[in-house]
Structure 1
Amino acid sequence: MATGIVIAQTTVDGERRAGELARGAVEGRLAACAHVDGPLTAVYRWQGSVETATEWRVSFKTTRDRLPALGAWIEREHSYEVPEWIVVAVEGGSDAYLAWVAEESSPA
């Protein structure tokens, strides 16, 4: 059962910045809500070296229709050269919750 709702995720290097991205996306109606998780330990390869960093993950709940605008906003607002941007389709859930996400992600 396709819903048109997605969860889009990014990571940042500070809790304050994660909160700013979460709040900005919700205030701009790009997402109905956002969750900030962390701190997380990230281990990754970057420019030929294996790096370890502390990051916070921001998970945005939005609609597939709003995803391009949210992605463009994150690209402008994010401080990383290559920010994580992963989108997962929501295949089901509470009808009331999914309707709320759709309503709150719609432009005013």
Structure 2
Amino acid sequence: MTDLLLIRITCPSRRVAEEIADAAVEQRLAACANLEGPVTSTYRWKGVVEHAFEFVLWMKAPESRWSQIEALVNELHPYEVPAIVALPCAQTSAPYAAWVNANTDS
């Protein structure tokens, strides 16, 4: 097991996803970010089933950066309750883990 996280955030637009990605990488909270989409999302919000096109932002970061990334997303994201989830990286190559840590000041 590594100390790295793969963080997934759904965003309402490419612009929002890019703004969060740029800020996280510039502030050295995440080593890199990938953007996918649009994807179709189905969810219940305030008792109503909703459908929306969203973009998925993936970031790679050390676990020690989680609270800072969560705060950044909550600051920049327009949703009342942004979907921010983190998956632990069970395995990564040693050179990649070193690169992530070097680029996040960990």
The TM tier, using the shorter chain, reads over 0.9
Distance, in Å, in 2 between the alignment partners of 1:68 and 1:49 is 30
Q: Secondary structure at the match of 1:40?
A: strand
Distance, in Å, in 1 between the alignment partners of 2:49 and 2:16 is 24
Once the two structures are superposed, what CA deviation does each residue of 1:5-33 show, in whole Å capped at 9, x if it has no partner?
A: 00111111111111111111100101000
Query: Which residue identity does 2:50 align to in structure 1?
Result: E
Distance, in Å, in 2 between the alignment partners of 1:37 and 1:106 is 26
Whether contact under 8 Å (2:5, 2:88) holds in the other structure is yes
Once the two structures are superposed, what CA deviation does each residue of 1:29-83 show, in whole Å capped at 9, x if it has no partner?
A: 0100010110000000111111000000111100011111111111111110000
Distance, in Å, in 2 between the alignment partners of 1:53 and 1:87 is 22
Whether contact under 8 Å (1:8, 1:87) holds in the other structure is yes
Whether contact under 8 Å (2:20, 2:72) holds in the other structure is no
What is the total number of aligned residue pairs between the two structures?
A: 106
TM-score, reference length from structure 1: 0.94
Whether contact under 8 Å (2:37, 2:55) holds in the other structure is yes
Q: Secondary structure at the match of 1:82?
A: coil
Distance, in Å, in 2 between the alignment partners of 1:77 and 1:5 is 23
Corresponding residue for residue 7 of structure 2: 8
The answer for unaligned runs of 5 or more in structure 1 is none
Aligned-CA RMSD value? 1.0
TM-score, reference length from structure 2: 0.95
Identity of aligned residues (%): 37
